[in-house]
Amino acid sequence: MKIAIASGKGGTGKTFVSTNLFYASVYDGNQITLVDCDAEAPNTTLFLKGVCESIEHVYSYFPSIDVDACAFCGKCVEACHFNAIFYLSQKKRIHVLNELCHSCGACSYVCKHGAITEHAKSIGTIKRIAYRNTSPIAECRMEIGVASSVPIIKQAIRNVDNDAMVLLDSPPGVSCPFIATVETADYVILVTEPTPFGLNDLRLSIQTLQQMGIAFGVIINRDGIGNQKMENWLNEENIPILMKIPYDSLIAETYAEGKIVSEINSMYLSKFRELMKILEENSTEQRVALCKK
């Protein structure tokens, strides 16, 4: 089963929840895998350290145009819907702008002169570490200057064992990298905070997940700051609140230092162990029923 931990707004505590759930599960002796899908800002391995087992590069294919073979017919320019081919027909100048290219292959498909070949270029890495020598963590890391992290995320998720329990630490937002993460998940935990920004962005995330038909529940982080509007709205909409994490300076301090609060504080450890048990229940209906108790 795959569980994605996501949020519309950044900095609400996705990585905090992912790392603590993972820690609690390892503590209970369960087999679990964590994938850090936030390839633009990967942070999980700052908190969970282990021996690096392998680093895999992820490649995208970028076309290059052989000007000697090119007939300057302009077909590839027409076929490219991302404006990624720079073309001056009269001056006979043509080349690909990699930062705009989506590696879709349309240009090489339409070229009838054999002038376009595609070359693999590394866009990022997937680093595998073994936490406490047993539990695998896969970290997606996009190279600086690359536009899209989606191929790295897809590759990392493809790599994991489908039968295993997997936590996916999602990137923020509601566009492509978020979609690539949650579309593979059986269940999504949305982490939010009870502020107007939190509520605004939570609604967008929920709208997206409902459209995609993926089941979800909500964790309210930093409970106690802000106001009651979030909780009232969730109750009105009948959306399960999986957990409330109080605003606690202990969490802020341990998190700032790169530590797992569940490792230091038994109250938080038992909270996350309990939640992990609920999530491991087989069906979504059971999960929802349990959360409503």
Partner 1 sequence: MQEIVVLSGKGGTGKTSITAALATIGKNLLAVDCDVDAANLYLLLNPQNYREEKYTSGKTAFVHADVCTVCGKCVDACRFEAIRYFNDSIEVQETACEGCQLCAAICPAHAIEMIPRDKSRWYEATYNNGYMVYARLFPGEENSGKLVSVIREKAKALAQKHQLDTILLDGPPGVGCPVISSVTGTQKVLIVTEPSVSAFHDLKRIVDLTKNFKVKRYVVINKYDISIALSNRIEAWCVEQQIPVVSKLPFDKELVEAMIQCKSIVEFNPLSEYSSKMQVVFNALLKDE
What is the Cα–Cα distance from 103 to 61, expressed in whole angstroms? 6
- Is there binding between residue 144 and partner 1 (CB under 8 A)? yes
The one among 28, 255, 277, 290 contacting partner 1 by CB under 8 A: 255
- Is there binding between residue 53 and partner 1 (CB under 8 A)? no
What is the Cα–Cα distance from 54 to 87, expressed in whole angstroms? 41
Kind plus residue range of the DSSP H or E element containing 23? helix 14-27
Q: Is 171 helix (H, G, I), strand (E, B) or coil?
A: coil
- Is there binding between residue 110 and partner 1 (CB under 8 A)? yes
Residues 6+ apart with CB under 8 A from 161: 33
- Is there binding between residue 12 and partner 1 (CB under 8 A)? yes
Q: Are 198 and 9 in contact (CB under 8 A)?
A: yes
- Is there binding between residue 204 and partner 1 (CB under 8 A)? yes
- Is there binding between residue 114 and partner 1 (CB under 8 A)? no
- Is there binding between residue 52 and partner 1 (CB under 8 A)? no
The one among 91, 133, 163, 211 contacting partner 1 by CB under 8 A: 211
Window 146 to 175, contacts with partner 1 (CB under 8 A) = 146-149, 154, 171-175
- Is there binding between residue 195 and partner 1 (CB under 8 A)? yes
What is the Cα–Cα distance from 262 to 273, expressed in whole angstroms? 9
Residues 6+ apart with CB under 8 A from 32: 22, 25, 26, 135, 164, 165, 166, 167
- Is there binding between residue 212 and partner 1 (CB under 8 A)? yes
For partner 1, give the closer residue by CB, 249 or 282.
Answer: 249
Q: Is 172 helix (H, G, I), strand (E, B) or coil?
A: coil
Question: Smallest distance, Å, CB 289 to partner 1?
Answer: 28
DSSP class per residue in 201-254: HHHHHHHHHHHHT--EEEEEEEETBS-SHHHHHHHHTT--EEEEEE--HHHHHH
- Is there binding between residue 205 and partner 1 (CB under 8 A)? yes
> What residue has token string 């017919």?
73
Contact range with partner 1 by CB under 8 A, out of 104-112, 230-238, 268-276, 283-291: 104-112
- Nearest CA to 126 out of 104, 167, 158, 99 is that of 158
- Is there binding between residue 186 and partner 1 (CB under 8 A)? no
Contact range with partner 1 by CB under 8 A, out of 99-107, 230-238, 260-268, 270-278: 99-107
Query: Cα-flanking dihedrals φ and ψ of residue 220, to 5°?
Result: -95, 115
- Is there binding between residue 36 and partner 1 (CB under 8 A)? no
Question: Smallest distance, Å, CB 15 to partner 1?
Answer: 7
The one among 133, 256, 283, 293 contacting partner 1 by CB under 8 A: 256
- Is there binding between residue 289 and partner 1 (CB under 8 A)? no
- Is there binding between residue 257 and partner 1 (CB under 8 A)? yes
Q: Is 203 exposed, middle or buried (0-12, 13-18, 19+ CB in 10 A)?
A: middle
Residues 6+ apart with CB under 8 A from 66: 114, 115, 116, 117
- Is there binding between residue 227 and partner 1 (CB under 8 A)? yes
Sites of contact with partner 1 (CB under 8 A): 8-12, 15, 38, 40-41, 43, 46-47, 79, 81-82, 99, 102-106, 109-110, 142, 144-149, 154, 171-180, 183, 195-197, 200-201, 204-205, 207-208, 211-212, 225-227, 252-253, 255-258
